[in-house]
Amino acid sequence: MFGYLGTILVVWQMSALANGAPQWALIVGSLAACSWFVHGWQRDDKPILITNALLLLIALYGIFSNT
């Protein structure tokens, strides 16, 4: 379930980037990374956990460095 949600959020993030809303894309990307992180946790998939933990940190840095 969280994998599907993460996929939908990633598509939404790409749409936000295409329409010129980078801050909104970072927020949606953070939610997507959290969703994929939970999916990886449930499946005990370490590559997904590590990748999305790093993506979440990068997105949070982008959100808070531009304010």
Give the pLDDT score at 51. Answer: 95
In angstroms, the CA 34 to CA 52 distance is 7
- Extract the residue ranges of the chain whose pLDDT is less than 70: 66-67
Question: Helix 46-65 crosses helix 22-43 at what angle (to 10 degrees)?
Answer: 160
Q: pTM for this structure? A: 0.89
Give the pLDDT score at 19. Answer: 95
Cα dihedral 12→18→48→38 (10° resolution):
-20
Report long-range pairs for 44-53 (Cβ below 8 Å, ≥24 apart): none
Give the pLDDT score at 66. Answer: 64
Cα dihedral across residues 22, 24, 33, 1: positive or negative: negative
